[in-house]
Amino acid sequence: MKFGSINFRTSNEDKIFFPDDGITKGEIINYYKDIAGLMVPQLKERPISMLRYPDGINGEVFFQKQASGYFPGWIKKVRLKKEGGSVKHVVCNNAATLVYLANQACLTPHIWLSRTDKINYPDRMIFDLDPSDEDFEKVKKSAGHLLKFLSEQLKLHVFLMTTGSRGIHLIMPLIRDKNFDEVRAFSQAAAKRIIIKYPELMTMEVRKEKRGKKVFIDTARNAYAQTAVAPFAVRALNGAPVAAPLSHDELFSKDLNPRQFNIKNIFEKLRSTPDPWENIGRKKNSLVKAEKLLGKLL
């Protein structure tokens, strides 16, 4: 595979990664090569954790944070502190790195909510809506209420994404003037406020057995070293669904389901509608203003 001056060989492209669909490792590699133009800008300068499936989705799986020693020098790495030591993470700044990781059976890259140049100050805040059952309509309804609250009452620019699994992410790009503790505290306060209004629909209860059939609002990802599935990343589920950025209108489509978009039909979606995240870098929110508005509501 050649990317300008970077050249490397891919391997085992005929290996079946999705047995029920006959999707091969080579198809996954080619998907990431084709989607790189839209995906890489969302990954740039973000430390990555790699969810790897060397023998496909029915084989062994492991979550890898440390960059392997054999990864080539042209791949950027960054060493970051962790409790009791440090970890050297991969940073995916170009299409070559994304495709190289796919060749290493990294099916699903997960990314930090901050960038390497200001690692303790996130430029993303996330609300992860996770259903307690298989009723995705509850997730869509919850996302609609939360979207309206965040955008209309707190005046935040909100971006949406199906996770490719069961839920929806609401993501807000941030001006980097708040650290992780401050961003997480804000997200928790905002989530509590919306739950007060819709207590029968949503919960922040961490223990699954106490959630009942409510949608769980997960704000714990807004913390140092926590990650979220990357936009356009492939999930290890039948059909090879992908995490797909959505427009606000798409959220309210009666046909929307969490695994609607996959490695084959995502390009058709992108040809028919513009990339909903195209302007995410130019829509940065100030939590200073939003905190004042939230304080009045509380």
What CATH number does the domain containing 258 carry? 3.90.920.10
Phi, psi angle pair for 234, to nearest 5°: -85, 140
User: Residue 223 has what pLDDT?
Assistant: 98
Residues 39 and 102 in one domain: yes
Here the tokens at position 227 are 């990650």
Domain boundary among 90, 112, 134: 112
| pLDDT confidence bin for 163, thresholds 50/70/90 | very high
| pLDDT confidence bin for 11, thresholds 50/70/90 | very high
Domain boundary among 112, 140, 158: 112
pLDDT tens for each residue of 207-221: 999 999 999 999 999
Task: Please give the residue that has the higher pLDDT: either 275 or 143.
Answer: 143
Residues 202 and 132 in one domain: yes
How far is Cα of residue 52 from the mean position of the Cα atoms in its chain? 16
- State whether residue 168 is helix, strand or coil: strand
DSSP 8-state secondary structure symbol assigned to residue 152: I
The residue-averaged pLDDT of 8-20 equals 97
Please answer whether residues 132 and 209 qualify as being in contact, where contact means their C-beta atoms are separated by less than 8 angstroms.
no
Let me know if residue 84 belongs to a domain. Answer: yes
The residue-averaged pLDDT of 45-67 equals 97
| pLDDT confidence bin for 176, thresholds 50/70/90 | very high
Residues 108 and 134 in one domain: no
The residue-averaged pLDDT of 222-243 equals 98
| pLDDT confidence bin for 244, thresholds 50/70/90 | very high
The residue-averaged pLDDT of 259-281 equals 94
| pLDDT confidence bin for 63, thresholds 50/70/90 | very high
Q: Are strands 215-218 and 202-203 parallel, antiparallel or unpaired?
A: parallel
User: Residue 127 has what pLDDT?
Assistant: 98
What is the 3-state composition of the chain as percent helix, strand, coil, each rounded to the nearest 5? 30, 25, 45
The residue-averaged pLDDT of 263-283 equals 93
Phi, psi angle pair for 90, to nearest 5°: -75, 145
The residue-averaged pLDDT of 146-156 equals 98
User: Residue 174 has what pLDDT?
Assistant: 98
The residue-averaged pLDDT of 131-154 equals 96
User: Residue 157 has what pLDDT?
Assistant: 98
Domains held by the chain: number: 2
Residue with tokens 């990664």: 17
Let me know if residue 206 belongs to a domain. Answer: yes
| pLDDT confidence bin for 298, thresholds 50/70/90 | confident
- Share the mean pLDDT of the chain: 96
- List residues bridging with 241 in a β-sheet: 262
Residue 134 has pLDDT above 90, yes or no: no
Residues 132 and 181 in one domain: yes
Show the 3-state SS of 185-224. Answer: HHHHHHHHHHHHHCCCCEECCCCHHHCCCCEEEECCCCCC
How far is Cα of residue 79 from the mean position of the Cα atoms in its chain? 22
Spatial distance between the Cα atoms of 154 and 135, rounded to a whole number of angstroms: 28
Phi, psi angle pair for 242, to nearest 5°: -125, 155
Spatial distance between the Cα atoms of 287 and 95, rounded to a whole number of angstroms: 33
The residue-averaged pLDDT of 9-24 equals 98
Let me know if residue 232 belongs to a domain. Answer: no
DSSP E strand stretches across the chain: 2-3, 6-7, 16-18, 23-24, 47-52, 62-64, 76-82, 85-91, 106-112, 124-130, 159-162, 168-173, 202-203, 215-218, 227-229, 244-246
User: Residue 273 has what pLDDT?
Assistant: 87
Spatial distance between the Cα atoms of 125 and 277, rounded to a whole number of angstroms: 15
Spatial distance between the Cα atoms of 188 and 290, rounded to a whole number of angstroms: 13
User: Residue 195 has what pLDDT?
Assistant: 97
Residues 162 and 297 in one domain: yes
Q: Which residues form the domain of 61? A: 2-112
Among the listed residues 170, 143, 148, 187, the one whose alpha carbon sits nearest the alpha carbon of residue 245: 170
Helices and strands in the chain, H and E counts: 7, 16
Residues 191 and 282 in one domain: yes
pLDDT tens for each residue of 97-116: 999 999 999 999 999 999 99
Domain boundary among 112, 133, 160: 112
- List residues bridging with 130 in a β-sheet: 216
How far is Cα of residue 280 from the mean position of the Cα atoms in its chain? 14
